[in-house]
A = this chain, B = another copy of it.
Amino acid sequence: MNKICIYDTTLRDGAQSEGISFSVNDKIRIARKLDELGVDFIEGGWPGSNPKDDEFFKEAAKNLKLKRSKLAAFGSTRRADVSPAKDVVMKGLLRAGTKYITIFGKSWDLHVKTVLKTTLNENLNMIEDSVSYLRKKGRHVIFDAEHFFDGYEENPAYAVDTVRAAERGGAETLVLCDTNGGTVTSRLFEIVEEVKAKVKTPLGIHVHNDADMAVANSVAAVQAGCVQVQGTFNGYGERCGNANLVSILPTLKFKLGFDCLAQFEFKYLTEASRYIAEISNVKQQDAQPYVGKSAFAHKAGVHVNAILKNPRTYEHLDPDRVGNKRRMLISELSGKSSVTKKAGELGIKIEKSSPKAKKILTYVQDLEKEGYQFELAEASLFLLMKRASETFKKQFELEDFRVIVEKRQGGKLVSEATVKLKIGNKARHTVATGDGPVHALDQALRKSLIEFYPSLKEMHLSDFRVRVLDEKAATAAKVRVLIQSQDKTDSWWTVGVSENIIEASWLALKDSIEYKFEKDKKKRKKNNHMIAKKA
């Protein structure tokens, strides 16, 4: 079977995502991660199109030092009626100094006429000239046939002529692009097969996700004979994104047995996906195939039960292979076996037959009846299980609190919280203001605790969700608050339920801080140098 070459364009096409804006430093960090994983090609950007990309290639030449991957610069063919040697795009591409250059040309006659406003023949010259010029300068050239599939549907002979022009110029790979992302899998497969019969140069595939088929289309193209797959990490890209390499890679490797990325470190795939999401400042989708937090999470009682008997019953792949984890969600339907299993996952040992397991199960079920939900709020679930043990000690106790939100005589809105705590045998009474009542409460709480637990400084609230539970709306409706907190290394969710949104927030807030303490304690134990607790 052919080796499949993986070409990542997160740094170029991925940067076209609405809401993503990479700094040069971000790009360097992502390139290092891709190199660590062992991707074949990293497309760094379009030199000459913006100062940031120029700077990236300069920085890359000096300091990047890739070990496994090859860096490619991206750009267009020369413009119409300009010689390659005088063309500004060609100059920019050469200046970037990469051994590999990818240029795109127009394969759809509509684009040649409407956008380039040149003749069909000159477009073929532009493609051939540009490729051969860069070849003569000693560079390897990959040709991206933009809008190839749309072009093929309207004028197949011309579309094929464009890739043949690139072939004549000396391109090493001809990449068929579904730029508008609207081609259906069956048709894309046919077209790739037809084109393969008409050229000698190896084919590649580059598709977008506008019809929600980018992953299936990329895989089908490989089955039809493409030997290079272009895509982005997490599927970032303009509009609906590019083909998601994170989904394509394990499918090619584990399901179809293609020889893709012999060196590729699949067991770091989940971590890499999350790392790149973090740098992109985009939340990784929980439901993301293979690597998402929910990708191997089981909720339905029937499923949980079967998974415990044999994971194959409800898993298409062993999550270990891509560095992900199985998770049993505790919900209305759970039994004792999932409680003890869950405890194990959270690092707490409980025997299934022990009274503690029963106690926890009853407690979880009671709280769920009240409206608690622990699927997301695993930190609260962890604490709940910890509290069931006799040795658990509360870090602090709330005595009083008051929150005031006030607006007077056209003045600014003010939120103020007062908190009275007992920490060990010491009392603290503090007051603080905030952007809103929950923020004020958080601030007052920290003011009390920070002298005892300085590590609170590294922690902050990162998300906050509220929902009314209108199951039985006859009397006062209950409110469920979910809070996400974050420190340098982790993030965790906690939950609180009450008729009063401030109290529900307080409960979730308190759990979030208690979890931080427990987490740090565990870490200290692990590092084997116990630190004496203050107070």
A-side residues, CB < 8 A to B, are 16-19, 21, 23-25, 49-50, 52, 110-111, 114-115, 147, 179-182, 184-186, 189, 209-213, 215-217, 219-220, 223, 235, 238-241, 244, 247-248, 251, 255-256, 281, 283, 285-290, 292-300, 303, 305-306, 309-310, 312-317, 329, 332-333, 373, 375-376, 399-410, 413, 415, 435-439, 460, 462-477, 479, 484, 498-503
Contacts and interface: CB of A to CB of B under 8 A. Distances in A.
Question: Nearest 5 A-B pairs (CB), nearest first?
Answer: A182-B316, A216-B216, A466-B466, A212-B247, A436-B500
A486 to B, nearest CB: 10
Nearest to A410: B399
B181 A21 contact: no
Given A295-B240, A500-B413, A470 B185 contact: no
A114 B52 CA distance: 58
A313 B466 contact: no
A319 to B, nearest CB: 11
B239 A295 contact: yes
A501 B17 CA distance: 25
Contacts of A399: 409-410
A502 B436 contact: yes
B501 A281 contact: no
Contact of A436 (B185, B293, B402, B479): B479
Copies of this chain, tallied across the complex: 2
Given A18-B297, A241-B287, A404 B407 contact: no
B476 A435 contact: yes
Nearest to A376: B19
B186 A220 contact: yes
Nearest to A500: B436
Contact of A184 (B240, B255, B314, B436): B255
Contacts of A415: 500, 502
Given A294-B18, A479-B464, A316 B215 contact: no
A50 B185 contact: no
Nearest to A479: B436
A467 B470 contact: no
A110 B310 contact: yes
Contacts of A298: 238-239
A404 B404 contact: yes
Contacts of A463: 468, 470-471
Contact of A281 (B220, B332, B472): B472
A300 to B, nearest CB: 5
Contact of A210 (B114, B316, B464): B316
B240 A288 contact: yes
B215 A111 contact: no
A471 B462 contact: yes
B244 A212 contact: yes
Contacts of A182: 255, 316-317
Contacts of A313: 110-111, 114-115, 147
A180 B316 contact: yes
Contacts of A235: 287
Contacts of A147: 313
A100 to B, nearest CB: 22
A405 to B, nearest CB: 4
B115 A305 contact: yes
